[in-house]
């Protein structure tokens, strides 16, 4: 079974602190994703990575950065945590598969970790 683990289930930090959320997957997936989930807003993509040291901004990257030094690990960094970053953070990973005549890489189904509920006081 695919396993995606996140370093913490619950985290409480203070405003201005630097926060690291770690995600590890054990299925050699190329793609990794960070989402935040808020009531009434669904899942919103923060950043994703399709290869080591590669990253792309999602829909709400402001206030966040990411790091992917190894294929299995994808870190989300809050440089200076703020109260509006209190949320559930979900990490996901997926294989890349080739589709279409153009043969470009794309997404496949995503496998999710259990989430980290971050509270910023």
Partner 1 sequence: AQSVTQPDIHITVSEGASLELRCNYSYGATPYLFWYVQSPGQGLQLLLKYFSGDTLVQGIKGFEAEFKRSQSSFNLRKPSVHWSDAAEYFCAVLFRRAGNNRKLIWGLGTSLAVNP
**Binding-site ranges for partner 1 (CB under 8 A):** 4, 40-43, 45, 90, 92, 100, 102, 104, 106-107, 109-115
User: CB of 15: closest distance to partner 1 in angstroms?
Assistant: 25
Nearest Cα to Cα of residue 114 among 29, 44, 39, 24 = 24
Which residue lies nearer to partner 1 by CB, 75 or 110?
A: 110
The answer to whether 34 touches 84, Cβ cutoff 8 Å, is no
Which residue lies nearer to partner 1 by CB, 5 or 15?
A: 5
Would you call 42 helix, strand, or coil by DSSP? strand
User: CB of 12: closest distance to partner 1 in angstroms?
Assistant: 17
CA-CA-CA-CA torsion sign (82, 75, 35, 61): positive
Q: Which two tokens stand for residue 96?
A: 């890349």
Which residue lies nearer to partner 1 by CB, 42 or 69?
A: 42
């Amino acid at each position: 079974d695919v396993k995606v683990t996140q370093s913490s289930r619950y985290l409480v930090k203070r405003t201005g602190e630097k926060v690291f959320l770690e995600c590890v997957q054990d299925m050699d997936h190329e793609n990794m994703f960070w989402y935040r989930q808020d009531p009434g807003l669904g899942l919103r993509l923060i950043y994703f990575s399709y290869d080591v040291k590669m990253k792309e901004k999602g829909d709400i990257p402001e206030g966040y950065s990411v790091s992917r030094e190894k294929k299995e690990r994808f870190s989300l960094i809050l440089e200076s945590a703020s109260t509006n970053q209190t949320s559930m953070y979900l990490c996901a990973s997926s294989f890349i598969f080739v589709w279409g005549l153009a043969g470009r890489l794309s997404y496949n189904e995503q496998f999710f970790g259990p989430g980290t509920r971050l509270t910023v006081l």
